[in-house]
Amino acid sequence: MENDYLARLPDDLRAFVMDIEREAEIDIKVAVDGSRAGRRPGEPDPLACDIDEDGATILIPRADYFPDGSVLHELLHINRFLVEQVPQINVCEAHWSPQLETVFGQLDNNLEHLVIVPEELRRRPARRDRWVSVIDRTLNEIRSGKLQQADRDFLGIYTLAFIDHVLNDPALRERSESILDGLGLRDRAVVFRDAIIPALASKEATTRICVEQFRLVEDPICFDYLDPRSSSRRQTGIK
């Protein structure tokens, strides 16, 4: 990582950056993506990261915005894929389309959050308020009736698992259960939660649970295993 950005981080995150770079044999880059600024009025601008077999880039909305809690979140993503070599959910090459890439990217991100956000909160407990706000907004979106049914149902079912596994917040759980009851989804959400949480050690297992629970077509779904040490990507089907 460039020294200018590395110097802005506290000691523990500087050490984390250097550990990732050493283990993965990469140089984590930072790039400004102006489209990330002002995405949600009244909320902090989100960071993101691009990860492939050649390395990782943290995307920031402007050059002077590098909050360490958000950086930690992106570093945890990078560590999972490039050091621990957890697979990414992707579209099999023969079935690629931009729509499927978006859908599977969102699914991958949601499953990753069940693993990395608990670690994020262990290292930065103050980030809990940020995630409570995210889930509160998500529940409002589900209740608004503006989402397509498939998106609404997935978010409703997934959010209960996130609340119970990550936040253990009684008020959010009560709101979530009330919304699920109104949509007739509470039983499905409980089944999903009880299946997904014990399986979190295996990305392959959690993906298969999603295929089952949400009746996804298997053929387009592949796992990408990234190895930056050899700049290689291995893709396998879910079957």
> pLDDT (tens digit, 9 = 90+) per residue, 168-182?
999 999 999 999 999
Q: What are the sequence ranges of the domains in the chain?
A: 1-84, 87-239
Given a cut of 80, whether residue 207 has pLDDT beyond it is yes
- Tell me the C-alpha distance between 202 and 166, whole Å: 17
- Strand order across the 221-227 sheet: 88-91, 221-227, 232-237
What region does 223 belong to: left with phi over 0, alpha with psi -120 to 50, or beta? beta
- Between CA 239 and CA 234 the distance in angstroms is 15
In terms of Cα–Cα distance, which of 108, 43, 101, 42 is closest to 70? 43
3-class SS of residue 181: helix
48-52/55-60 β-pairing: antiparallel
- Kindly indicate the confidence band of residue 128, based on its pLDDT and cuts at 50, 70 and 90: very high
**Mean pLDDT of the residues in the chain:** 96
Residue tagged 């297992």 (tokens): 205
Angle between helical axes of 203-213 and 98-123 (0-180°, round to 10): 130
Contact predicate 64/90, CB 8 Å: no
Does 39 have pLDDT greater than 90? Answer: no
Interval 60-75 mean pLDDT: 96
CA–CA distance, 27 with 31 (Å, rounded to integer): 13
- Whole-angstrom distance, CA of residue 112 vs CA of residue 163: 15
